Amino acid sequence: MDFDTPLAEAWIRAIAAAVEKEQSRLTELDSAIGDGDHGSNLQRGFAATLTALDGLQPTGPGAVLTKAGTTLISKVGGASGPLYGKAFRAIGAALPEPAGPAALAEALAAGLDAVRALGKAEPGDKTIVDAWTPAVAAFRTAAADGAGLPEAAAAAAEAAEQGALDTVPLQARKGRASYLGERSIGHQDPGATSTALVFRTLAEVTAA
Ligand code: ADP
Ligand code: MG
Ligand 2 centroid to Cα of residue 59, in Å, is: 34
Could you tell me if the CB of 167 is within 6 A of ligand 1?
Answer: no
Q: Is residue 208 scored above 90 in pLDDT?
A: no
Does the pTM surpass 0.95? The reply is yes
Closest by alpha carbon to 107, among 82, 126, 134, 87? 87
pLDDT confidence of 2, banded at 50, 70, 90? very high
Could you tell me if the CB of 110 is within 6 A of ligand 1?
Answer: no
Could you tell me if the CB of 82 is within 6 A of ligand 1?
Answer: no
Mean pLDDT of 120-146: 98
**Distance between CA atoms of 208 and 203, rounded to whole angstroms?**
9
Helix boundaries (H) for the chain: 5-33, 38-54, 61-75, 80-94, 101-119, 129-144, 149-165, 190-207
Length of the chain: 208
Could you tell me if the CB of 127 is within 6 A of ligand 1?
Answer: yes
Could you tell me if the CB of 30 is within 6 A of ligand 1?
Answer: yes
pLDDT digits (tens, 9 = 90+) for 81-102: 999 999 999 999 999 988 999 9
Ligand 1 centroid to Cα of residue 176, in Å, is: 7
Taking the alpha carbons at both ends of the chain, their separation in whole angstroms is 12
**Atom of ligand 1 minimally distant from the CA of 77:** 3
Give the domains, in start order, of the chain with CATH numbers: 5-207 (1.25.40.340)
3-state secondary structure of 99: strand
Mean pLDDT of 97-116: 96
Q: Is residue 169 scored above 90 in pLDDT?
A: yes
